[in-house]
Chain A
Amino acid sequence: MIDKKTIEHIAKLARLQITEAEANEFSQQMEKILQNFNKIENIDTTGIEPMITPTEIEAYWREDQVVQEYKPQDMVANAPERAGNLFKVPPVV
């Protein structure tokens, strides 16, 4: 059952602020969607390795070379707030 408490817990895990109206809407919709997802519950998958990627990945290593492609100012150009070439962030300690 996807109740309001569960929705609040998931939103916290997802770092996602949602409104009261969204919480109600998602609760009802997720319940319906997950019921549909439960269709796969009874398929016998004993001993089956889950598939992570659909085609074979061939190992490839790039040369370990130092290349300067960007300047520091390119890397912070999209930052919402910055101080010089540093990202400005909320206090973390």
Chain B
Amino acid sequence: MELTFASISDISEAVKTKKISAKEVADHFQKRIGSLDKQLNSFTSINPDSLKQAEALDDRIAKGEDVGLLAGVPFGIKEMLCTKNLTTTAGSKILSNFVPPYDATVVARLKKNGATIMGKLNQDEFAMGSSNETSYHGSVKNPWDTSRVPGGSSGGSAAAQAARLVVGTIGTDTGGSIRQPASFCGIVGVKPTYGRVSRYGIIAFASSLDQAGPMVSTVKDAALTLEVISGHDPMDSTSSQKTVPQWSKNLSQDVKGFKVGVIKEYLKGGLDADTEKTFNDSLEALKTLGAEIVEVSVSMTEFAVPIYYLIATSEASSNLARYDGIRYGYRAEFASLSGVELEDFYGKTRGEGFGSEVKRRIMLGTYCLSSGYYDAYYNKAGQVRRLLTEQYLAAFKKCDVILSPVTTAPAFKIGELISDPLAMYMNDIFTTSTNLAGLPGMSVPYSLSKSGLPIGIQVTANHFDEQRMLNVAAALEASSLMKGQKPHVI
């Protein structure tokens, strides 16, 4: 069996029917990681027990047990998710020695369904960044061009998946952190509806925006993985009790009669030529397949980036207050604890433990929540967020899905934007709105730029309407202009 490019369901089926053992699969991908990841820096740690896990699965199959939908499928997990007995750093020095005593629900569900956990994947520190340059573990390289960023914050997941160092990965998305790196690296990335996937055991960045999701190679693999990780979790009070549909079984490329919305405020220009052409080509393809293109208005998207950063930094400043050097994580060195003032203890530990981008965001968030500014910033942002969400819900009365670019341009060079945080923040212009409104959104690879870099298309749907989103994505995937293209690192 050709393993490197096999789909999740092909591997799972082959392992279950004993055409290949889970151990052989894990061994193949472990060797790929060993030989290729030096060029990418996508893995931060390798699970020393992955082969043992795979062997245990083979034993269960030999006994005739039902081992689940992902039997023997090698997965990489973003550093943001807790993994029992496996370091979970969130890409930060402040958690560099943290070994969780439990698995995040997402990880537990992957394991329950037979997945083999191969290791942890690099990310921007605390998921703060659009380029994967803020990680304590160093920058990740884009496998299509190693002088460029893979996108962020799930850049390690995107790069590892694009180079097929694993068969599936999990990322998290607070303002586009699954979709933007998926677009930059030419893979499929899904941010589900807020509440679809439990956040239990995911290091909190901005709790009202964070969602975990699959970053994989095909739309069908995405549907399958999403089925496994979705569903109510009593450990997360914001996780939805809605039934999880069998998205992979109901997947269809038939979009005849679908109304595909285009946000008119997005048509003001500002896209690079390749990205604009890719977007127009994707619209034409859907039209040819029988979909109707309709213009919708979501005027508040103009303010999505400021609202997003006001809310995200405010929530982050509160969430990151737990890193105090007392119970876990990094502690600054002190000759003796007895003479230390508590405020100095916290300040030194946090000052040394957090990187520059995280400090900047904690400062911004603290300012926005401070006395005299709360109403003007955090409260106001929450009000505009409601207006934005209401506009989206009105738009979905006129269309089934909304199509848009993921980013304004393909992957940029490492170091190009890092010294200009505002320019970096504006990079998230097409992705932040869906998090603010809690909508599901995904990126599908569609075309290559003239310089050979992947460009994705974003499909957004109404709350809990992942099926229609996945179906439109499947139609786009079938008409994609970059089928069969592989990154240079492979």
Using Cβ atoms and an 8 Å threshold, which residues of chain A touch B101? 70, 74-75, 77
CB <8 Å contact, B342 and A10: no
Chain B 300-352 interface residues, beta-carbon cutoff 8 Å to A = 300, 302-303, 305-307, 309-310, 317, 321, 324-331, 334, 337-338, 340-348, 350-352
Q: Determine whether A84 belongs to the interface, using a CB cutoff of 8 Å to chain B.
A: no
A33-B364, A50-B379 given; A55·B463 CB < 8 A? yes
With known contacts A37-B309, A40-B307, A49-B383, A55–B351 Cβ distance under 8 A: no
Nearest Cβ distance between residue B90 and chain A, in whole angstroms? Answer: 14
B193 touches A50 (CB 8 A): no
Q: With A and B bound together, what is the CA distance between A87 and B331 in angstroms?
A: 12
Is B240 on the interface with A (CB-CB < 8 A)?
yes
Contact assessment for A26 and B360 in the assembled complex, using a CB-CB cutoff below 8 Å: yes
B421 within 8 A of A: yes
Asked if A40 meets B384 with Cβ closer than 8 Å, knowing A14-B362, A15-B321, A30-B367, the reply is: yes
Flag if A40 contacts B347 (CB, 8 Å).
no
Whole-angstrom distance from the CB of B484 to the nearest CB of chain A? 38
* Structural contact, A36 and B306, CB atoms closer than 8 A: yes
User: Contact between A45 and B384 (Cβ–Cβ < 8 Å)?
Assistant: yes
Give residues of chain A (29-82) contacting chain B, Cβ–Cβ below 8 Å.
29-30, 32-34, 36-37, 39-41, 43, 45, 48-55, 57-58, 60, 62, 69-70, 74-81
- CB atoms of B195 and A55 under 8 A apart: yes
A residues less than 8 Å from B464 (CB atoms): 55
Residues from chain A with a CB closer than 8 A to the CB of B327 are 76, 78-79, 87
Distance of A78 Cα from B101 Cα, bound (Å): 9
Q: Which range holds the interface residue count of chain B?
A: 35 or more
Task: Tell whether B17 is near chain A: CB-to-CB under 8 Å.
Answer: no
Q: How far is the CA of A15 from the CA of B349 in the complex (A)?
A: 9
Q: In the complex, which residue of chain A has the Cβ closest to the Cβ of B388?
A: A51
How far is it, in angstroms, between the C-alpha of A55 and the C-alpha of B334 when the chains are bound? Answer: 46
For the complex, is B11 an interface residue (Cβ under 8 Å from A)? Answer: no
Judged by a CB distance under 8 angstroms, whether B425 is at the interface is yes
A88 within 8 Å of B by Cβ? yes
Chain B residues whose C-beta falls within 8 Å of the C-beta of A52 in the assembled complex: 208, 382
A15 / chain B contacts, CB cutoff of 8 Å:
321, 324, 343, 346-347, 350
Flag whether B488 is at the interface (Cβ < 8 A).
no
The residue from A10, A41, A74, A89 contacting B367, defined by CB atoms under 8 A apart: A10
Contact assessment for A78 and B438 in the assembled complex, using a CB-CB cutoff below 8 Å = no
A1: chain B residues at CB < 8 Å are none
Encoded as 1 (CB less than 8 Å from any B CB) or 0, chain A from 6 to 27 comes to 1100111111111100100010
Closest to B343 in A: A15
Is B184 in the interface zone, CB < 8 Å from A? no
Q: Which of B118-126, B231-239, B278-286 contacts A (4 or more CB under 8 A)?
A: B231-239
Measured in the bound complex, the distance between the Cα atoms of B209 and A49 in whole Å is 18
Alpha-carbon gap, A17 to B238, bound state (A): 34
B370 at the interface (CB under 8 A from A): yes
**CB-CB nearest in chain A for B300:** A43
Check B359 for interface membership: any CB of A closer than 8 A: yes
CB distance from B267 to the nearest CB of A (A): 20
Verify A92–B350 contact, CB threshold 8 A. no
Say yes or no: A60 contacts B366, CB within 8 Å. no
B341 partner residues in chain A, CB cutoff 8 A: 90
B99 CB within 8 Å of chain A = yes
Q: Which residues of A contact B (CB under 8 A)?
A: 2, 6-7, 10-19, 22, 26, 29-30, 32-34, 36-37, 39-41, 43, 45, 48-55, 57-58, 60, 62, 69-70, 74-81, 87-92
Residues of B within 8 A of A (CB): 97-99, 101-102, 193-195, 208-209, 232, 234, 237-238, 240-241, 300, 302-303, 305-307, 309-310, 317, 321, 324-331, 334, 337-338, 340-348, 350-352, 354, 356, 359-360, 362-364, 366-367, 370, 376-377, 379-387, 389, 421-422, 425, 435-439, 463-464
- 26 A-B interface contacts by CB (under 8 A): A10-B366, A13-B366, A17-B348, A17-B350, A17-B352, A18-B363, A36-B306, A39-B303, A39-B306, A40-B303, A40-B384, A43-B303, A45-B384, A49-B386, A50-B382, A50-B386, A51-B385, A51-B386, A54-B194, A54-B436, A58-B240, A58-B241, A69-B102, A70-B101, A79-B327, A90-B334
Besides A51-B386, A55-B240, A75-B101, 20 other CB < 8 A contacts? A7-B363, A10-B366, A13-B366, A14-B350, A15-B347, A26-B360, A33-B421, A34-B364, A36-B306, A40-B307, A49-B383, A49-B386, A51-B382, A53-B438, A54-B209, A54-B439, A55-B195, A57-B238, A60-B237, A81-B337
